[in-house]
Every structure is written in C-alpha cells, then in structure tokens.
Chain A
Amino acid sequence: MIKLPKESYSEEQIRQWLEAVTDPEIPVISIADLGVLEAVIVTSDRVVIEIIPTYSGCPAMYAIRQDIIENLHIHGVENVTVVVKNQPAWNTDRMTEKGKENLKKYGIAPPQSGSNPLIVCPQCGSQDTTCVSQFGSTPCKALYRCQSCLEPFDYFKCHV
C-alpha cells in the first residue's frame, strides 16, 4: 500500500478536483453543488469521501462513487474510500445557487419551495406552466410543459 503523507493533499485541493465530478444524469451540476458531497477527510494513509444519496433508490450513486475514485486516481491519490451515508437526509436546500443556475441554463427548472411554487419555463421564462407528471425521467425530477412556448421541460422537484 502506498503511504499518503498527511501534508500532501489538503481538503481544499481534493474538493477542487472533485468539482469535475458531476451527476451522471445531469452533467452540468457537480456533486458539491448538488449537495451530495458531505465530507472530505484526509487521513494519514487515505482520503475518505462521504456522500449522501439524493433519493434512496438513486442508481446514480454507483456511478458517482466510481467517478470519484477515478477522478482522484488521475490526480495521483491512490487510496480512496467512498462512503455512502444515510444521514443527514439530503434535501434540495443543500443545492448551491451556482448549481441551480447551471440547472436552469441546461433546461431544467430548479427546485422551488413553498406550498404553491411558481415554476418558470427554463426555455422562455414564461410563468404559465403546467405539471404533466409528478414523476419524470429520474426520481428527482417531475415533468412540466410551458403553455407559452409549448416546450416540455424537466423540473427538479423540491425535496425538503
């Protein structure tokens, strides 16, 4: 086993590298911006990355785990352990503003809280939209349609 000197990698450095690891279903949002990256722990002989799943059954967790390991291997970090934790429970408040902005640019309406949220069309900006299905292409999204430009779009469900 290759020993990893404690001073060789800072948590900040690891986090910067992990910016390149994105949600495999939504490649414009990093796992940090999504709120999935819970902790980076550098110990004397390895780097431990703790992640939490968005939805309990999210199959992307396997891909994310692999992507983290590969990404850090490329940067020369040999001993990487990825731990998937159930706690804390993920929610959409963990998503950063940058992450929400990137979603919008990509064509996915970012999560809105409140009992009667206003979902704005990410294509044309119209507020005249309607829910087609509470469930979409992945567990975290619902399907909407814009009544103005008539385009369908994904809405990242608010999860609190």
Chain B
Amino acid sequence: MNEAAIYHYLLRLADTSLTQSQRLAEWCGHGPFLEEDIALTNVALDLLGHAKMLYEQAAEISEQQLSADDLAFLRDVSEFKNPLLTELPRGNFAFTILKQYFVDQFHVLLYSALRHSMYAPLAHIAEKALKEVNYHLERSHGWCLRLSLSTEQAKMKIQEALDDLYFYTPELFESDAYLDDLQAQQIIPDLTQLQADWQQSVDVLLAECQLNVPKKGWLATGGLRGEHSEHLGYMLAEMQFLQRAYPGCQW
C-alpha cells in the first residue's frame, strides 16, 4: 500500500473535519436560541472526534514521530489540506446551515463508501463516523427546508448563502496523483461517482427548497495543494495559539 498517499488522504479528511468543527464551535454562546446553540456545538464535537481518529491514524503511519496533537496544532496553513469551503468564515445562521448540509451530505456518502475500504483502519473510522453524520444530515436537511419555506427574510438569506457557497462544493471531490492511486486500489471510492451521487441528493433538496441554483461562478480549488484563502490563517492563529505559546501544554 502507498503509505504516503494514505497519510496525505487521512490529513485531507482530518483537516476538513477539524476546520468545519472549529467554525461550528465559534457559534458557542451565539446560537439563535439555546437548543440550536447546543446542537451546533454537539455537531462540532462529533466532527472533532472524527478528526482525532483520523489524525491518530495518520500519526501512527507518519515517518516522523508525530502525535495527533502535533498534526492539529503545529502545522501551518500551507500544510493543511482541507477544501476552501470549510475554512470560510461562519457567516450568518443560514450560511452555516447550508454549508453544514453540503458537508453532511458529502460525509454520509463518503463514509458509507469508505466502510468498504481496502485499508481496514479507514473502514473502521468510517463505520463509527457514519452513525453520527447520518444524524447531522437529518438536522441540516430539515433546517434547509424550514428556512427556505418560511419567511421572505429567511428565504433571502439562504438564497444568498447558496449563491456564495455553491461553487466551493466541487472541490470536495477534487483528486490528485495520490488520490488517483488510492481510488485505483479501492482504498477510497471513485470520486467522480461520489460527486454524481452527491449532486443528485443536493439537486433534490434544492428543488424542494425552491431555491435558484446559480449557473456560473468561480470554482474554488487549492486545498489539496495547501493553497488556501486568508481565512485559514486567522483560524489557525486562534485555534493553535495555546500550543504555540506554551509548547507541550496539556489540559
């Protein structure tokens, strides 16, 4: 097995979950009402758990003696591999919810497929994470409908979010030489097929929401190569502060 490719992909998934989790955690104490505040941070906690499992596996196969914490807290922007979508500032509630839906739908399809990965540790992680992302999807899917089909104000906000987010989503399915190799070895699923399945589910929901799907836009790209927007730098500055200021500090 191509360990360098697996390491690269584990970080891709872990960084995606970690950045998504961090953005959700920013809502702590700012949710629109108490139950929703708790829901946002509960989802953040699950995603942090997924990131932890993935980083631990990456640490285990890394050539340097690294820990999961080193990978999360001591790498800089250009070493992160998440898509630009998950590093975007959290925006308003509609923006957060729609972004969450896109990520949840991606995770549900991805982890369903990864359960059959030829790389057993990844299959085990997927088995565990799938149970949780299924629950996340139920909630974000429900919220998209509720916002879209309620007041004019809510509908306007989620339509704006769709306009802003839509062209960030294809990057979730981007491949490179490493990922091509993993697809060929059936360690990860066919990303083109995954994207088609994702698009089908998304199309159904957006039609139900009666939202206008944007036709043309700038396609985000770069995360896999470590090319990020400025937002990631600010996020890491806050998230990594403690370990940078007090190296090795433990809770």
A residues in contact (CB < 8 Å) with B: 53, 55-59, 86-87, 89-91, 132-137, 139, 143, 157, 159-160
Contacts and interface: CB of A to CB of B under 8 A. Distances in A.
11 contacts: A55-B49, A56-B48, A57-B48, A57-B49, A86-B128, A87-B128, A134-B39, A134-B135, A135-B35, A135-B139, A139-B46
B127 interface: yes
A132 B39 CA distance: 11
Interface residues of B, number: 25
Given A89-B124, A135-B139, 12 more contacts: A53-B49, A57-B45, A57-B52, A86-B53, A86-B121, A87-B124, A135-B38, A135-B39, A139-B45, A143-B35, A159-B131, A160-B131
Q: Chain B binding site: helix, strand, loop or mixed by DSSP?
A: helix
Residue of A91, A135, A160 contacting most chain B CB atoms (<10 Å): A135
B104 to A, nearest CB: 13
Interface of B: 35-36, 38-39, 42-43, 45-50, 52-53, 121, 124-125, 127-129, 131-132, 135, 138-139
Contact of B46 (A56, A90, A134, A136): A56
The 4 A-B pairs at the shortest CB distance, nearest first, are namely: A56-B49, A57-B49, A133-B35, A57-B45
Nearest to B21: A57
B36 to A, nearest CB: 8
A90 B47 CA distance: 16
A134 to B, nearest CB: 6
B45 A55 contact: yes
Contacts of A136: 38
A137 B127 contact: no
A57 B43 CA distance: 9
A58 B124 contact: no
Contacts of A57: 45-50, 52
A136 B37 CA distance: 10
Nearest to A87: B124
A134 B138 contact: yes
A90 B43 CA distance: 18
B119 to A, nearest CB: 13
